[in-house]
């Protein structure tokens, strides 16, 4: 009972600290004393993975987004909701408390167990490419192979570093990564419901779902440019290219190309590059594509077709430096969503796919 009370008290204290700005505990030199070569170790492992499988770039970025965006929040119509705390190694206790945060805690990497379906097996996450998970697993193995670093660095921080590294390897901006996240103790498929924006969202819906994570409309537009790399299955945009009802905001030639690549009855495993011009480069071509009507998803093209966001799209299509700075600011803020720094709410996993 004493241990349970201590966990409860720590949870309440951590939640109070979160509203006061617990993310201030993140810092770039968090591992300087225990693993000073961390960033070079991770970068080498990520570089090796990307050289072998270039698709790891888009896969890793998407994995980071899907991890951070699943943050459990208390409903505005209720003073409490089901929250999660550790009840010993590998076990969970459910309490009626203000919601604990998920967010950037590598919970998306945890595998399902006999009595729990994890986040990664939610329908919205089934298309997460295995190369994204493997990028983190390989980097974690490289870090733990160094005796001083073994079991010192969280999977959540390795994912954040790997995301930065794949972006840089693809020609995108390099940036300092804030560190100090602990790995989450909970991963439930039900927590994903309604947290990830589908490709059909309009501007208001996109703006609202990003705002729930304290991200602005400008942050949303910048982060959407992650679609400058990666792939998408035909089913995610097929409604826009129906022969008798092509989305009028889509470039006619682009629509014809997509129809040829994704005919009726196409193999559901077929996937197309998100950026038809520079598919392997992390650049501002994404915005130039939108200006030209070549956004693959409705949620991409709406950023140009809606007059409220169009000026930002046009500006970043013309100014790569301005876009890169906005992207760095946005992904840094994304990396602060729901982080755990209190040991009662997280730990450093020995294996990223399993609780300790």
* CA angle, 339 then 323 then 55, to 5°: 70
- CA of 326: how far to CAs of 171, 173, 209, in Å? 16, 11, 19
Task: Count each helix (H run) and each strand (E run) in the chain, helices first.
Answer: 12, 6
197 annotated to bind ligand: yes
Q: Is 165 annotated as a binding residue?
A: no
User: Per the annotation, does 283 bind a ligand?
Assistant: yes
19 is in an annotated binding site: no
Is position 66 annotated as part of the catalytic site? yes
Whether 70 has a binding-site annotation, put simply, is: yes
Q: Is 36 annotated as a binding residue?
A: no
* Residue 204 is assigned to a ligand binding site: no
Q: Kindly give the pairing relationship between strand 81-86 and strand 183-184.
A: unpaired
Active-site option among 43, 49, 66, 122: 66
275 is in an annotated binding site: yes
Burial of 233 (0-12, 13-18, 19+ CB in 10 A): middle
Phi, psi of 44 (to 5 degrees): -65, -40
CB-based contact 82:349 (threshold 8 Å): no
Rounded Cα distance, 338 and 330, in Å: 15
Within 10 angstroms of residue 108's Cβ, the number of other Cβ atoms is: 29
DSSP type of residue 160: H
Q: Are 143 and 42 in contact (CB under 8 A)?
A: yes
Whole-angstrom Cα distance, residue 203 to residue 111?
A: 33
For the chain, how big is the Rg over CA atoms in Å? 20
Q: Report CA 275 to chain centroid distance, whole Å.
A: 19
Task: Report the distance separating Cα 242 and Cα 96, nearest Å.
Answer: 47
- The answer to whether 67 is a known ligand-binding residue is yes
Place of tokens 């699943």: 70
Residue pair 275/285 in contact (Cβ under 8 Å)? The answer is yes
Does 278 appear as a known binding residue? Answer: yes
Ligand-binding annotation for 329, yes or no, is no
Joined tokens for residue 105: 């805690």
E strand segments, the chain? 81-86, 92-97, 183-184, 231-233, 271-273, 346-347
Binding site members for heme b: 227
Binding site members for substrate: 197
Catalytic positions, please? 66
Binding site members: 67, 70, 103, 105, 107, 119, 197, 227-228, 275, 278, 283
Binding site members for Ca(2+): 67, 70, 103, 105, 107, 119, 228, 275, 278, 283
């Amino acid at each position: 009972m004493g241990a349970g009370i201590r966990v409860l008290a720590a949870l309440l204290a951590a939640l109070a600290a979160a509203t006061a700005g617990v993310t201030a505990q993140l810092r770039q030199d968090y591992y300087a004393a225990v693993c000073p070569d961390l960033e070079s170790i991770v970068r080498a492992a990520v570089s090796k993975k990307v050289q072998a499988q270039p698709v790891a770039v888009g896969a890793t970025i998407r994995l980071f987004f899907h991890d951070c965006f699943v943050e459990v929040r208390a409903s505005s119509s209720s003073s409490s909701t089901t929250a999660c705390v550790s009840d010993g190694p590998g076990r969970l206790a459910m309490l009626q408390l203000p919601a604990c945060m998920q967010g950037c805690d590598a919970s998306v990497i945890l595998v399902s167990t006999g009595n729990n379906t994890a986040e990664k097996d939610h329908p919205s996450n089934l298309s997460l490419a295995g190369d994204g998970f493997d990028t983190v697993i390989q980097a974690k193995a490289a870090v733990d192979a160094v005796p001083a670093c073994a079991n010192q660095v969280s999977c959540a921080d390795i994912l954040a570093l790997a995301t930065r590294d794949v972006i840089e390897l693809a020609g995108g901006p390099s940036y300092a990564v804030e560190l100090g996240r602990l790995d989450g103790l909970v991963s439930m498929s039900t927590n994903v419901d309604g947290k990830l924006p589908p490709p059909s969202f309009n501007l208001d819906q996109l703006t609202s779902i990003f705002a729930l994570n304290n991200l602005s409309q400008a942050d949303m537009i910048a982060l959407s440019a992650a679609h400058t790399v990666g792939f998408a299955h035909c089913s995610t945009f097929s409604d826009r290219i129906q022969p008798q009802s092509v989305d009028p905001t889509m470039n006619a030639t682009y629509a014809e190309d997509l129809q040829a690549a994704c005919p009726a009855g196409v193999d559901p495993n077929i996937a197309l590059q998100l950026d038809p011009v520079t598919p392997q480069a992390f650049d501002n071509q994404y915005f130039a594509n939108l200006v030209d009507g070549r956004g693959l998803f409705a949620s991409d093209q709406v950023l140009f077709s809606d007059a409220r966001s169009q000026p930002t799209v046009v500006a970043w299509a013309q100014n790569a430096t301005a876009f890169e700075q906005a992207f760095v600011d946005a992904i840094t803020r994304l990396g602060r969503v729901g982080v755990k720094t209190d040991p009662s709410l997280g730990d450093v996993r020995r294996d990223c796919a399993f609780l300790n």
